[in-house]
Amino acid sequence: MRKIFLLPGVLLAAALLVGGCPLANVKDKFPPRKPTQTVTGPPADFVLPTGTKTIDCGQSGQCQILDINGESIARIGNMMAPFSGFADPSLTYEADTHTLWMSYSWLSVKHETVDNKPVMDFVVQTHLAKSTDSGKNFEFVKQINDNTKASAAMSGQGGWMSHEVSTIVKAGDQWQLLWI
């Protein structure tokens, strides 16, 4: 994998030696954008129950399990995959319906046979869940994307394209997922 990053590093070093960073004036070409939407928080009476769901473990390091009803479990054959679960939640409250929406990274594995040998890859998909009881319970809604087979441009090595760390936002009447 180091070979993939070697060429861009060499090119950047050469550009710096010859006359500065080619990205030095990028701020001038892309001025700061003004927000297109004002986001407000949940109503004052919206309270997440204490002690039931912990999203950030804090300094104690003891996280409680957050179950998402209806979410599948990543498996290899009949066994639970060692690389499975979910992470990187993005929460948004929809005041009209009193619904707490959560997009998150769902970790799993893909397995296939290459040259008559089993190959296992670790992949990440984006899933969507919702809660209508102030976050006490979450229900799986849908898988947003799937992993796509892809090949690295320089080496041609095959693998999977994964999507990580989504942000869920509502712009007007449309919900959007952004990958930043």
| pLDDT digits (tens), the chain, 180 positions | 333 334 444 444 444 444 444 444 444 544 555 544 444 444 555 554 444 343 456 677 666 667 788 887 766 667 666 666 778 888 888 888 899 998 888 887 777 777 888 777 778 888 899 999 888 889 999 988 877 777 777 777 776 666 677 777 777 777 776 765
Here the tokens at position 134 are: 């102030």
Do 110 and 84 form a contact (C-beta atoms < 8 A)?
Answer: no
d(CA 55, CA 72): 20
d(CA 145, CA 2): 28
Do 148 and 126 form a contact (C-beta atoms < 8 A)?
Answer: no
State residue 129's pLDDT score.
Answer: 93
Please give the angle made by the CA atoms of 145, 86 and 159, to the nearest 5 degrees: 50
State residue 28's pLDDT score.
Answer: 52
- Give the domain ranges of the chain: 1-31, 62-180
State residue 18's pLDDT score.
Answer: 44
Do 159 and 150 form a contact (C-beta atoms < 8 A)?
Answer: yes
d(CA 169, CA 92): 7
State residue 152's pLDDT score.
Answer: 74
d(CA 89, CA 103): 6
State residue 83's pLDDT score.
Answer: 65
The reported pTM is: 0.56
State residue 165's pLDDT score.
Answer: 75
Distance of CA 43 to the CA centre of its chain: 27
